[in-house]
Structure 1
Amino acid sequence: METELKEFSHKRFNPLTGEWVLVSPHRSKRPWQGQQEETNTETRPSHDPSCYLCAGNTRANGEKNPDYKETFVFVNDFSALQENTPSFKVEEGLFKAESESGICKVVCFSPDHSKSLADMQITAIEKVVKLWQQEFRDLGSNPKINYVQIFENKGSIMGCSNPHPHGQIWSQNTLPNEVVKKDNNQKTYFASKGVSLLTDYLNQELRENERIIYQNENFVILIPFWAVWPYETMIIPKTHQVDILSLDSKQTTDFAHAISVITGKYDRLFNTSFPYSSGIHQAPTNGLNNDHWHWHMSFYPPLLRSATVKKFMVGYEMFASPQRDITAESAAAILKDL
């Protein structure tokens, strides 16, 4: 099986989403004459007077940021979700719509404009994790909020409009598409096996030890067997936990360490500040029994062969199914050695 997976086209199943990804390992040998992205070699200052996220600066809505020294969170000045949206539904034949409300926040990881998570001390990343926990707790306690999505877009190639180290939190009334898939599949597995899906998956990965990049006492970083993006990774807690509020002090430190490790490896992969989108999937805050959930953090980086060659989701990927050339196993070996 190992030889077949390395040499022949095949599909891999994602049990979390119930979807397949096409893997074409033989295509990684083909010559590349596609688009070359520009590499950002700009050296940023620790404080940029024109940056609306830097401490003490004024944002677009006229509010002034405090002179924060660690982390800083505020309601997004241009929120995608509105808290005061009235409740409504539209059902006219095949035209169907309904209201969606929520609260969107911006989380500044550091006052230092020049840094990213890869550059920050583990103690500083711990403070980011604790802020995520605080916001998850506070937003989730709102009866109108049933899901809290924590995420980061890093790099202009990922649509990030400001290089200041920051992420976002979108919380909303209903469960978004990806979460609905993972909720249903984890619930079905837990009801059948009596154990979380990711507990069994992680145990199998630990036994094979082929896609694991790093582990400490409480966390494992691996490239999922079903990964779509070339260097996609997942951080999984070794203990079955439904959300990040379950972390104790030592686990919080180990989680921060894992984030530091993978973001540092990414930056060393192509000797560039590595772009990605990352997000934490965890149990909804809907007050239901969500014991089937096993929270995890995923990183989806677009770079493929170098700092200037990007993986595009086009053609077959848009109209049929996700597809990748480099296998999860070879990508894991590369990242593990860094």
Structure 2
Amino acid sequence: MATTFRASEHQHIRYNPLQDEWVLVSAHRMKRPWQGQVEPPLLTTVPRHDPHNPLCPGATRANGEVNPHYEGTFLFDNDFPALQPDAPSPGPSDHPLFQAEAARGVCKVMCFHPWSDVTLPLMSVPEIRAVIDAWASVTEELGAQYPWVQIFENKGAMMGCSNPHPHCQVWASSFLPDVAQREERSQRAYQSQHGEPLLMEYGHQELLRKDRLVLTSEHWLVLVPFWAVWPFQTLLLPRRHVRRLPELTPAERDDLASIMKKLLTKYDNLFETSFPYSMGWHGNAGRCSCHVPAMVWGLQRD
């Protein structure tokens, strides 16, 4: 007698239309006795201001520059950038197995708040809105010069963040990363075949199915993507088709600040700790008109 398939019981593969790839889902492994490590409370508290912390207002950074006594967001060039605007080209390759191309760009750091002992979920909605405005502004500025602008945050020592201060990074590059290239190809192909943006239809379908919704608001959706591969992964999508953060209306930005605070508070409450995560915004790439800005959060652990 044939066994009836149940997604919550039987392993299967799911298609990720953004990356044009299949991912393995083994839901039955959730029956393992391990239910998630609970981190003990930190024995030491983070000082609100540390003159030796290079991200604090008035502190001296590694290059000798002194931070202004900022009271909101603070954007500056990364002192140890992965990309520089004037790097030389590697030149032609002498063998197809040893190819290299030029990579140029700009890396910036953005502090969210002058206090070191806060994180995004602990900030007020107006303070988060100011961060969103700063994200939109730097996206517009760097997007005029580079085809790809990546805003991302690694929060917590577990995720590789060595500095206890609320901040993110902004990388603008002369090339499209592989992930962005696949997303662009997939979304162009979907829109060409179906006549509508892939992520708009996906969000609509998730609203109808109600299986993976985490939060909804007037302008935004938070859901667990059907193709999720990270533990506690969520996808934040707008309800209308906009290509880039600068195109968000004031009402959409206010609503985004509110839903971000709610989501990140849920993360903190999940294990009763300041939740470590990696997040990043993906908007349109270059001249692609079919991208929808989306933020992905997740705890990147096996």
Tell me the TM-score normalised to structure 2 length: 0.95
Q: Give the structure 2 partner of residue 315 of structure 1.
A: none
Query: What is the SS of the residue equivalent to 1:271?
Result: coil
Counterpart in the other structure of 1:291: 289
CA deviations 1:25-69 (Å, max 9, x no partner) are 211222349998776453212111221000000001100000000
Give the secondary structure class of the aligned counterpart of 1:129: helix
1:319 equivalent in structure 2: none
Shift of 1:230: 1.5
Corresponding position of 2:299:
301
Q: Which residues of structure 2 form unaligned runs of 5+? A: none
Task: Give the Cα–Cα distance (whole angstroms) in 1 for the partners of residues 43 and 204 of structure 2.
Answer: 41
Corresponding residue to 1:59 among 52, 58, 61: 61
Q: Which one has more relative contact order, counting CA pairs under 8 Å at least 6 apart?
A: 1
AA in 2 matched with 1:224: P
The residue type equivalent to 1:244 in the other structure is L
Secondary structure of the 1:213 match is: strand
Distance in 2, matches of 1:148 and 1:72, equals 18
3-state SS, counterpart of residue 4 of structure 1: coil
Task: Report the equivalent of 1:254.
Answer: 255
Distance 1:83 1:39 in 2: 43
Question: Root-mean-square deviation (CA), in Å?
Answer: 1.9
Counterpart residue number, 1:140: 143
Structure-2 change in CA distance of 1:33 and 1:191 (3 Å): closer
Deviation at 1:3, TM superposition (A): 6.2
Cα distance in 2 for residues equivalent to 1:58 and 1:23: 48
- Displacement after TM superposition at 1:89 (Å): 2.9
Q: Per-residue CA shift, 1:107-148, capped at 9, x if unaligned?
A: 000001100001000100000000011101111112xx1110
Which SS does the other structure have where 1:258 is aligned?
Answer: helix
The number of equivalent residue pairs is 299
Larger CA deviation: 88-97 vs 293-302: 88-97
Summarize deviations over 1:308-335 as a string: whole Å, max 9, x none. xxx32xxxxxxxxxxxxxxxxxxxxxxx
Aligned equivalent of 1:273: 274
Distance in 1 (alpha carbons) for counterparts of 2:70 and 2:15 = 45
Under a length normalisation based on structure 1, what TM-score does the superposition of the two structures give? 0.85
Q: Residue 119 of structure 2 contacts residue 166 of structure 2 at CA under 8 Å; is this kept in 1?
A: yes
Aligned to 1:185: 186
2:11 match: 9
Partner of residue 111 from structure 1, selected from 114, 121, 133: 114
Change (3 A) 1:102 1:46: same
Q: Aligned equivalents of 1:132 and 1:243: distance in 2?
A: 10
Deviations 1:69-127 (A, max 9, x none): 00000000000001111234331211100110000000000001100001000100000
CA distance in 2 between partners of 1:202 and 1:250 (Å) = 20
CA distance in 1, matches of 2:52, 2:86: 31
Is the 8 Å Cα contact of residues 235 and 258 (structure 1) preserved in structure 2? no
Aligned with 2:230: secondary structure?
Answer: coil
The percent identity for this pair of structures is 43
Given that residues 244 and 292 in structure 2 are in contact (C-alpha distance below 8 angstroms), is that contact kept between their aligned partners in structure 1?
yes
1:148 & 1:281 partners in 2: Cα distance? Answer: 8
CA distance in 2, matches of 1:294, 1:132: 16
> What do the CA deviations read for 1:259-297 (whole angstroms, capped 9, x no partner)?
11111100000000000000000112x3x3x22111100
**For residue 26 of structure 1, what is the amino acid of its counterpart?**
H
What does 1:1-338 correspond to in 2, within 5 Å?
A: 4-32=6-34, 40-93=42-95, 94-142=97-145, 145-284=146-285, 286=286, 288=287, 290-302=288-300, 311-312=301-302
